[in-house]
Chains A and B, each alone.
Chain A
Amino acid sequence: MSRQNQPARRIQGPQSALTDFLASHNISANQIRLDADARRRAAQQGQDGQQNGADAGTSTAPITLDLPSPETARLDETEARTRGGKRRKAEQTAIDKIKASKKFQRRKRQVDDSEDDDDLARAIFQERSAPLPGQMENCAICGKRFTVTPYSRAAPDGGGLLCTPCGKELQQEGGPPKKKPKRATGGAVGRRRQQQSDILDGTYHRGAKPLMTLCIEKLTKHIDLADELGDLPPMIIDKIARNLSKHRLLDSRTLGLFLTPTAEDVHVYDGAKLSSEDLIRIFQTVPALKNLKIRNGIQFKDEVMDYLLSRDIELESFYLHGANLLSEEKWIQYLQEKGRSLQSLRVYFTDKHFGDGVLATLSTACPSLKRLKVTHNQAVSAEGIKNIGQIKTLRHLSLDLHKKVHPDIYVSLLSEIGYDLQTFSLTRVPDIDNTVLDALHNNCKSLQKLRITDSEVMTDEGFARLFNGWENKPLRFIDFQKCRQLDAGQPRENPDNTGLCSNGFKAMMAHSGRYLVDVNVHACRHISAAAFEEVFAADKVYPDLKNLEISFCEEVTDFIVGSIFRSCPNLHELNVFGCMKVKDVRVPMGKILVGVPNALGMVIEGDDD
C-alpha cells in the first residue's frame, strides 16, 4: 500500500485551471483520490474479516476474490489477520450485549429452544451488521463481490445478501413476486379527489352505495369468470353493460353474455373492440331484436348492414354512433326495406356518409318515425332539412351539423312540423337569428325540451318575444348555452343586447319556471345581477328545478347563489364555474355546488341544514 500512497512521478499532460489552482494551494486531487481509495479498501476488508470471522468462528484466512494484484492481496491478508483478533473480541462483546437485551429474550421466547443461545444471538448480530446500500458485499451463493443496493435480496438461509444474478435466479424459482393490491384511493387526498370526480360525473351519493351497484362493480371485475348472466331483469343487464363498457371490457367474449335469443334490447355502449363478425353475431343470436344501440360501432360496415337486411329483424329504435364506414347507399337501402317499423333513428359521428339523400328517403320510407337525431354530421345541408319537414309524425328533432344552414330553412321547417314537436334541439348554430325564435313562438304548442346553443345574432328582445304570451305549455328543459355577444373589440359593451340577457331570462323563467327541471344558461354573460335577484326573489319557488348551470354568468354573487338555493327546494346541482364574485357560500344539506373559484377545491357538498 505504501508504494501506491507515494506521489507518482509527475509526468503529465496539460491540466485544468482548477488543478493548477489547487496545486498552488498545495492540494493534490490525485492524493485525495488515493486516500479515499485506501479508506474504502480498508472498510471492505474490515467487513470481509468480520463476515468470515462470524461465519467460520476460528478462521483467520479471509478469502477475497477480485483483488487487483497478488501484491495487494498479500498485504490485505496480513492486515486482516492482525485485525481479525481484535474484531472477534468486539464481536463477542456485541453478542454478549445482545444476549442480555430484551429483544433477545423476546425472540427466544418466540422461537422454541431448538436453537442454542449463541446461534440466536449471532443471527441477531448479523442482522444488525448487514451492509448498507452502497457498500460492497460478497454474494452468499456465488461468492462474487457486488455493490449492495436497497433491492438486494437476502439469502434464503438468512445469512448475507445476494448479487443481482443470483437474486434474479432465486426470484424465478420462487415465482413472480406478489404485487401489492392496488388501492383505489391513495389516502385522504385520493379519497377527496375520487369524491370530487364522482360529483362531476354525477354519480356521487352521500352514504353507502346501493347493493346493486356493489354487485355490478364486483361482477365487472370478475367478468372473465361469468359464463352467462342468467335470467336477470333487462334493467340490470343494461347496468352491467354500461359498467363493462365504462371499463372498456366489452369484447367478442363478453358481448356473448348480453345476446340472449329472447332479448328485445341490445345496448352496446362501447363497440370499439368488436369486429364486423361480432356485430353480425348480434343479429344471428337475437332474432326478436327491437331496440339496437351501438356506440363506437366503427366496424358497422356495409357487410353488417347487408346481413341485417337479409334477416327478419324489424328495428323500432336504431342508434348508431361512429359508424363512418357505412355508405350512404346502404343507409338508403336499409330505410327503404326496413324503415316501416322504425320509430326512432339516431345517428352520431358519421363523417360524410349520412347525407341529404338519407333524409329525403325518411319521409317516404318511415311512416312512423317519431324521433330523429343527427349529430356531428358533415354531409347534411339545407336540402336535407327541408326534407325533414315532410316527416309529419316527427315529435323529437335534434340536429348538430357542420354545414351552415340559413335560418329561413328552420323557419319553414318549424312552420311545417312545429305544431307537434316536443323536442327541438339545435346545437352549435352561430347564424340562427330571431326569426327562428319567432317561428317557435308562432308554431310550437307542445314543446317540452328546447335547445339552441352558440347563437351570436339572437337578441334579448327575440328571447323575450318568444316567451311572452307563448301558447306552448311550460318547458321542462331549456339550454341556451353560449347565446351571447362575441365581439373581441368591445367585450364589455353590448349595445344591441345580443344573446340571452336580462329580459329574455326573466321572460323565460316567468313562462316555464314552474315545471323546469334543467336550465342551462352557461356563458350568457349579460344577464344582470338585478335580473337574477328578481327571478330568484324570496317569493319565487321553482319546485321541479334539479340542475342549474349558470357558469360564466359574470354578475352572479354569493347573494344570488343563496337566493337560488332558497327558491329551488329540490335543486341537486348548481354549476358556477367562472363566476368570480362567488366567494363564500353556505350550501344547504344535500345540494352540490360545483366550480367555486377558491383554493379549497372546486366542489362543495352542502353541510348546512
Chain B
Amino acid sequence: MRLTAAATATAALSGFAAGAAQAADLQVAVEIPRLTVAEYHRPYVSMWLERGDGSAVKTLAVWYDGKKAKEEGKTWLKDMRQWWRKAGRSETLANGVTGPTRAPGRQQISFKAGASPLGALQAGQYNLVVEAAREVGGREVVRVPFTWPAKGRQSASGKGSSELGAVSVTVTP
C-alpha cells in the first residue's frame, strides 16, 4: 500500500513536469466482441467526450460505412442514439473523425492534445463515451471517467456486456 502511494506521488511529480511539454495524449482501446450470430455486420461506433453534467464536449471518432453510394451509410448514424442526440445531429465533425467500421478484436486509437479532433481541452473531469450500434443487432454505451490533464500516466477502464467488450482509456501528461 505504501509502495503504491509512493509510486503515485512520483508519477504525479513527473507528470506535472511533463505536462508543460504539451505532449499530452489520450489513448483509447475498445474491444469489439466477436459474436456468433446468423447475420453479422460490424457495428457503427462513436466516441465522444462528456462533461460531468452529461453534456457533450466533442466527437472524437465515428466508425461507419462512409463509402456507400449516395452517403447511404449516414442513414444509420442516428442508431447511435445517445451520440446522435448529444453531438452527432448538431456537430460539424472535425477532420479525421470519421473512419470505416472496424473488425472484432481490440481496436486502438489515440488523440493528441492540440491536434484535431481533441484540440485544447480545458482542465476537468470527463467521461470518454463509446457507443456501438449494430445492424440487426443491439446497442450499448460504455463510459470511462478520466481527469484532464493527467499528472502522471492515468488509466481507467469500463466494460460492456453485449455490443462492447473492455474499453480502456490511458491519459499521459
* B is bound to A: no
Binding site for A on B (CB under 8 A): none
A residues near B (Cβ < 8 Å) are none
